[in-house]
Amino acid sequence: MNKYNETFGVDLSKDVFDVHGSTVGHDQYKNDESGFRKFLKALPDTSLVVMEATGYYHYRLAQFLYKNGITVSVVNPLSVKRFIQMKLAKVKTDKSDARAICKYAVIIEEKLLSLVKQDQQHQLTVLTSIPGIGIRTALFLIVCTDGFKKFETVSQLCSYVGITPTIRESGSSVRGRSRISKIGNRKLRNLLFLCSFNACKHNKACKGVYERIVNKGERKKLALIAVSIKLLKRSFTIAKSGKPYNETYVSVLRVK
C-alpha cells in the first residue's frame, strides 16, 4: 500500500522538467528556481517525488525539494529503463518518461521480483544465502546495480550506496565523530542497516565485527554501520562469483 497521497515522476532536461502525478497527470515547469518553487506549491501534502539520477540537473531539484521537507527518491536510470522495457513502451518523450517514472515509483515489489526472477534467479538465490540478507534487499541490490554489472569494485558500490565511512577533519586534527556519507542510494542504505540487526544474530562474521567494535567502547550504531558495510561487501563478492554463501570461505576472504 502506497503511504503517499500522491506520487510524482519527474523527467529533467536542460531547460524544463516534466512531471507526472499518479492522479493529477502531466505538467511541465522551468528548470530553474522559479520553476522549482512553482512545483513545490503544486505538491499536495505527503507527496513522493521520484526522479532518475541525471547528474547536475536532478541534483539541484532534489536538493531544493529535500530542504523544503519533500520526500525525494533518486533512482537508478537502468532500473527505470528495465521497467519501461518490461512494459514494451514504444513511444519515448519527456512526457512519457515522466509517466513511466511515476508508474515505476508506485509499482508493487512483486512485479519487480517477477522480472528479476526471469533473468537473474541464480543471483537472487546466492544473495539470499547470506545470513542477514533478505529477499527484498537482494531484489533492490540487483535492480539498482543492474545485476552488479554497473560496478567494477566494491569501493565503487559502497560509494554509490553512500555507506563509505567519512571523518570530519580540520587541519591535522580530527573533530567530530565518524559518520557515513549522506550522498548515495538512501533506500539501499536503510535496507542494509535494517539487515545488520538480523545479521548480528545469525551471521557469525557480522556478529564478530559488531562485538569487536562495541567491546572497544564505540557506539552500537557505528558497529551496525560496520556490519552493513560487511554485508554489502559480501553481497558484491558473492554476486560476482556466483557461488552461494559459505561461512568458512567468506570468513577468510579479503575484498579490496
242 versus 256: the higher-pLDDT residue is 242
Backbone phi, psi, residue 57, to 5°: -60, -50
Question: Which SS3 state, helix, strand or coil, does residue 94 take?
Answer: helix
52 has which bridge partners?
Answer: 75
pTM of the model: 0.56
Segment 65-78, tens digit of pLDDT: 888 888 887 777 77
Stretch 245-249: mean pLDDT, rounded? Answer: 78
CB 158 within 8 A of CB 232: yes
H or E, element range at 95: helix 94-106
Angle at 200 between CA 198 and CA 206, to 5 degrees: 125
Stretch 42-54: mean pLDDT, rounded? Answer: 84
* CA–CA distance, 47 with 97 (Å, rounded to integer): 19
* CA–CA distance, 67 with 86 (Å, rounded to integer): 34
Count of C-beta atoms within a 10 Å radius of residue 149: 10
Stretch 51-58: mean pLDDT, rounded? Answer: 76
For the ranges 8-17, 160-169, 205-214, the one whose mean pLDDT is highest: 205-214
pLDDT in the model for residue 241: 92
Alpha carbon 204 to its chain's center: 26
Segment 138-180, tens digit of pLDDT: 988 887 787 898 889 998 898 888 887 543 333 333 344 445 5
> In CATH terms, is domain 6-106 a member of 3.30.420.40?
yes
* CA–CA distance, 122 with 74 (Å, rounded to integer): 27
CB 106 within 8 A of CB 1: no
Q: How confident is the model at residue 113 (pLDDT cuts 50, 70, 90)?
A: low
Write b or e for each residue in 210-249: b if 16 or more Cβ atoms lie within 10 A of its Cβ, otherwise e: beebeeeeeeeebbbbbbbbbbbbbbbbbbeeeeebeeee
For the ranges 81-90, 103-112, 219-228, the one whose mean pLDDT is highest: 219-228
Domain boundaries, the chain: 6-106, 109-251
186 versus 149: the higher-pLDDT residue is 149
| Residues 76, 78, 81, 87, CA torsion sign | negative
Q: pLDDT above 70 covers what percent of the chain? A: 77
In the structure grid, which three cell numbers stand for residue 101, read together?
A: 517514472
* CA–CA distance, 206 with 60 (Å, rounded to integer): 38
CB 99 within 8 A of CB 9: yes
